[in-house]
Every structure is written in structure tokens, then in C-alpha cells.
Amino acid sequence: MRDAVTNLIKNYDVAGRYFDRNAIDSLKSYFESGTKRVQAAGAINANAAAIVKQAGSQLFEEQPELIRPGGNAYTTRRYAACLRDMDYYLRYATYAIVAGSMDVLDERVLQGLRETYNSLGVPIGPTVRGIQIMKDIAKEQAEAAGIADTSFVDEPFDYMTRELSEKDI
């Protein structure tokens, strides 16, 4: 897994360039936000079970057909698998928040996920909606932890939803 620093170094190394002002500013911004990133991840981790439970409840309230007979979260096993997946997305989102890089999401979550879900008949739309609900709740948790600017919390959740969403070819 790479973080914002190793990504920057890699990009400049491949180009055979020394750090310029933009690189230094990018590093400075990353390090200045480091404490906030760790605080946000800590607040999310401390409340992960509640976040997943609340997001699942909201998702199933918005889309009750998912838990009705024939729905993709119908039966205890499928319901539990849905919540397990939501927990998985939340955990990896916190890794990406701390790293300041979305590489961990590509490497550990997104590669092949859409194809797997399609082959299993798992609808992508509710998955995307569940991730967005978790983003809103995670931002609330970060704000409750005293973090004023929580825009960096959006990044991994928005990245996952963008990558999972249908793309025009």
C-alpha cells in the first residue's frame, strides 16, 4: 500500500525530477492534515459497528425491497453479508483517510469487485447508496471529534462510489 508521500516520490522519480514547489506544498498539506486524518479514523473506528448498523437501517428503510422475499438482503445470511461488506468498505475507507491515498482501495477492495457483484447478481446501486450513507455518518463522527474541515473524509467514499458506479463506454 502506498500513501500520499510514496505516491508523490514515485511520480517524481519516474519523471526523473526533483521536487518542485507543487510537490513541497502537497507534502506540507498532507503532513499538516495528518493529525486530523488520524483523529477522524479513530472516531470512525471507535463507532464502526454503530455506523454500519445505522447505515444499514437507513439503506433498508429507503429501499425495503432489498429485505423482502426475493431481495438481495433477504434471509439472515444475505443480510449479514451486506452488513459485513459495509463494514469492509468502512474499514478500508479509514485506511485511505490515514494514507491520504486511494491506492489501498484499488488494491484491496475495488479490483474485480464490480465483476464479482455482477456475477453474483448483487445490485451496485444499493451498494453505492450504502457507502454514501456511511460517508455522511462518518463525517458526523469526525465533526463530533472536533474536526472542523472534514472534506478529506469524503475522498475514499466518493472514490469507491465513483469506481463502482456504472461507466459509459
Q: Which residues sit in the known binding site?
A: 72, 77, 82
Helices (H) and strands (E) in the chain, counts: 8, 0
Please provide the DSSP assignment of 31-46 as one string: HHHHHHHHHHHHHHHH
Quick one: cell of 127? 451498494
CA distances from residue 27 to 20, 33, 34, 95, 127 in whole angstroms, order as listed: 11, 10, 11, 18, 33
Annotated binding site for (2R,3E)-phycocyanobilin: 72, 77, 82
